[in-house]
Structure 1
Amino acid sequence: MSEKIEKLFKNALEQVSVEPPARVWEGINSHFAMKQKRLRRMYTYSGIAAAVILLFGVGFFMQSKQTDLYPTASIAAQNSTINNQDDNKILAFTSTPHSIPEIKRKNEAYSMEHLAPVPVSTSSMTGLENEQPEGDLKKASVRTAFIPLVNQNAIENQRKYAELLDGKSTTAVKTTPKAKDEDDKMFTVGGYVSPGYSSGSYKTSGSNARSAQYESNQMSGIFNVGGGLTFAVKPTKRISIETGLGYSRVGQKTDDAQVYVPRSGMVSYNANTHAYTPLGSVKNKANATVSSPESFVSLKTEQDEEGSIEQQFDAIEIPLIFRYHLNDNRVRFSVLGGFGASFMVRNHTYVNYNGKKEFMGEAEDIRTFNISTNIGFGVEYPLSKSIHLKVEPGFKYYLQSLSKSAEINFKPYSFTFSTGIGINF
């Protein structure tokens, strides 16, 4: 019975539908809306956190890449060739000196041409001029901590840095290497060999027999070879002052001289007698004689011989020469002029006849100290960085007569062609 009643109620209730109140549906809808808001808020915060993490990750990755591009060891290796460079002529500076290895000095001959361009990020150079106040550049800690940079700001930074250190205004900094290292070298030593031709201007007063027997047109020059050592100091790039120690010879040869020779078997009649030469009397030591008075010659007409007289005077010279270099090329040209002090150390007169050459003796009244003037033209060719070859044609003229006699005026002159080497240091 009870089962029938339950079945009856079940069938009746299945056909019945009850509409929930509106507040029930509002509660359900508000519940689901709050849940959706919480989900959206969570997704938003999660996205922001992921973006921040990603941004930090990318920044750390880029920073590590930039650090690898300029490792400390690489910078030190790149600058190993310029660690001895002059800090007054540095190319540029950076704004972070504490992270850069100290560079000691810079070689003056170093040029920006030898620096290979290095890629530098633009961001690393931003604010370079503002980050480093100009007043701080004069500090030793800043001056000794920098690296060369090759970018669009390097030249301008170099100019400003040179102005601050030197107190000078520079519109452009040129680092072209010098054409010659010897420009910086102040001293030169060298040696030379000087072949030459010597003669002289000759006049006599006509007050003695000497003037009647010797004329200037009888005289000719003699060839000789000299040489010596030189020392020079260069106060400027173009001017040098030179001195040294040299050996030279001057003299002359008188042709068509009358030579008297004693006959065979005769005792020399001219021993210890004076022979007359163009440059003074000679106490004759030769067998023959020249221009002797008739009283000393027997059978004169049978003893005449054609011959010549040769007179040589050797001297030690100390020059004082001023040289001016006309150019600064590889082959250098120069003009020179100055004076020389000569100390006579040898005075020989010879008589030549019949293929013989006899020493007669020393001419009397010859000055032992003389002053000469020297001019010349020089050509220098470098054999190495410190050694150069010199070729110098020159002219030397004595300012005084070689003879002290008032009756004789003989001023020697010489044409020389010196060749030698010079060593700069």
Structure 2
Amino acid sequence: MLSAKSAEVVEATLPVVGAAIGDITPRFYDRLFAAHPELLRDLFNRGNQANGTQREALAGSIAAFASALVAHPGQRPDAMLARIAHKHVSVGIADDQYKVVHEHLFAAIVEVLGEAVTPEVAAAWDEVYWLMANALMAVEDRLRAEAAAADCDPADLWRPYTVVTRHQETDAVTTFVVRPADGRPVPTARPGQYVSVRVELADGAHQIRQYSLSGTADGALRFSVKREPGGEVSQHLYEHLPTGGTVELAPPLGDVSLAEGDGPVLLASAGIGNTPMTAMLGHLAATGSTRRVISVHGDRDQLRHAFRADLEQLTAALPNAVAHVFYERPLGAWPAERTGLVDLSTVEVPAGTTAYLCGPLPFLKHVREQLLAAGVPAADIHYEVFGPDLWLV
């Protein structure tokens, strides 16, 4: 909990720090990577660093955490940090790295704000940092303990997997079915979670990306990759991971997964965001669920719609399921009310619905607003976003 004295100082200086945080985070990363180039080479996503999204996400998370502490100084917003903690564990971030981050972050703050960082201000923001860091470490320690209990050694994060099969969903989306190469059991995954994939690139760098599981198979995991223009890892997987090839995976993680229950479920996605939704639908069908299930998906057209056949088959396998598909530029005849962007005003959302969303940020915001207007409580709307979470920025 944030002390009363620090809460006053943080509240008074939050506008100044918030206004400068766009300058602070680039200097922080520059300092960090100058001192530890291996972090950029083998841990951080070089693409997200180059386009600035990771820096935006860091700035947003710090500002949001500090604002929450000021608004509720007696509480620690752990729930807000769960998503970050899952990502940290999935790439192998260790507790001692928080000290490294602290060193370079506070040096960057002093560089930017200069004499405004008095000892009192420094102490208050130091308290904010360690409340955030300790909250993250607590969640991360719990996640590692859960992984250990599931026969996934947190000290040995990366395991080799053999590609059993790979096939094209669309011209840009490939599905890989992989089985542990070490003969140990496949780790348990909850529908909606992702795996981290680590590859060695031509320059010797080890880059990590997260890909949602699109389902499971007998003793295997199934993840799907959209080949992005200029995407270092997606291009590598597409070009250099054949059937019979080997790839390193971390255990399945992710704070957004399908909760058990009997209430209605709405699964809303856009583009490749239907990957975790396909896994959720597969789980519901495999368990013979009688829940009311509403799937809503938006895509450019039929040819770019990955898992289109899965959506049709899994919906048909569920007794109380319906699917609504929207195409921006449909090929051939298509209902006018399903042409264009996803519009939930034409979809019945029953009382008691729990919603799961995945897709680009504008889509997530639009659908969430419509769900709130339809009476779905904010606590019952869960979202997954690929890449750094910029919702708070």
* TM-score between both structures, scaled by the size of structure 2: 0.17
* TM-score between both structures, scaled by the size of structure 1: 0.16
Rg larger for: 1
Q: Which has the higher contact order (CA 8 A, sep 6+)?
A: 2
Greater fraction strand: 1
